[in-house]
């Protein structure tokens, strides 16, 4: 560890970086097209099961979103889990990839489309293969993880995409819940009890 690092210097760096992260998230989230999110909400309200697929940190964010949507009473499956059934016509696949080119995510979307399922996607890249497969598309205008010289974000790799994906899916959940008549106590009955 650098001997010139002190508690005060770390504190100051932390405060500065907390502001950086907070401001980048707010600025990017404000640029999401609300109509795209509303169209995704409509897709989530259609009959059928929901499947979620993502890789890396984006996949972890979607797993959190899947949990909240399950709390709303949706039948939700995580692609790749051993008990996940086959997706079929009328189902919805929700995916996320900052680049829109993540091979496993694109392959999942191709498979879903081939069997007649709908595809909803979050990405930074409207010209990507994933975007082309999406029936519902939400563009998060963040830097891609390999865009190290970006003026969009000073954060490392795809952090801003993943952070805004989390905020967007949380706001989407709040919106869907707010349009239901279920109290928090009802949602809590669906919360995992084998933790």
Q: What is the pLDDT of residue 123?
A: 98
Bridge partner residues of 122 (DSSP): 96, 138
Q: What is the pLDDT of residue 103?
A: 97
Crossing angle for the helix pair 7-30 and 159-178, to the nearest 10 degrees: 60
Query: What are the start-end ranges of the H helices in 72-102?
Result: none
Predicted confidence band of residue 195 (pLDDT cuts 50, 70, 90):
confident
pLDDT digits (tens, 9 = 90+) for 68-123: 999 999 999 999 999 999 999 999 999 999 999 999 999 999 999 999 999 999 99
Active site residues: 162
CB 98 within 8 A of CB 58: yes
pLDDT digits (tens, 9 = 90+) for 176-191: 999 999 999 999 999 9
Q: What is the pLDDT of residue 128?
A: 97
Rounded distance, CA 69 to CA 59, Å? 15
CB 89 within 8 A of CB 138: no
Asked whether residue 1 carries a pLDDT value surpassing 70, the answer given is: no
Residues 26-188: name the CATH superfamily: Glucose-6-phosphate isomerase like protein; domain 1 (3.40.50.10490)
CB 64 within 8 A of CB 32: no
Beta-sheet strands, E only, within the chain: 50-54, 76-78, 92-96, 118-123, 136-139
Give the percent of the chain with pLDDT over 90: 88
**From edge to edge, which strands make up the β-sheet containing 92-96?**
76-78, 50-54, 92-96, 118-123, 136-139
Q: What is the pLDDT of residue 151?
A: 73
Rounded distance, CA 195 to CA 193, Å? 6
Asked whether residue 149 carries a pLDDT value surpassing 80, the answer given is: no
pLDDT digits (tens, 9 = 90+) for 30-47: 999 999 999 999 999 999
């Amino acid at each position: 560890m650098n001997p010139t690092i002190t508690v005060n210097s770390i504190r100051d760096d932390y405060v500065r970086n907390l502001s950086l992260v907070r401001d980048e998230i707010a600025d990017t989230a404000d640029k999401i097209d609300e109509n795209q999110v509303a169209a995704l909400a409509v897709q989530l309200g259609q009959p059928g099961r929901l499947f979620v697929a993502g890789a890396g940190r984006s996949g972890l964010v979607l797993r959190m979103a899947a949990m909240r949507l399950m709390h709303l009473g949706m039948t939700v499956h995580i692609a790749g889990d051993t008990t996940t059934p086959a997706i079929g016509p009328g189902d919805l696949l929700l995916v996320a990839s900052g680049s829109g080119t993540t091979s496993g995510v694109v392959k999942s979307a191709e498979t879903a489309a081939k069997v007649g399922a709908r595809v909803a996607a979050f990405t930074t890249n409207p010209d990507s293969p994933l975007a082309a497969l999406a029936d519902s598309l939400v563009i998060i205008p963040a830097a891609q993880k390999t865009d190290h010289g970006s003026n969009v974000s000073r954060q490392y790799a795809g952090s801003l995409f993943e952070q805004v994906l989390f905020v967007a899916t949380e706001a989407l959940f709040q919106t869907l819940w707010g349009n239901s008549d279920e109290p928090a106590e009802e949602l809590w009955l669906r919360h995992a009890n084998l933790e």
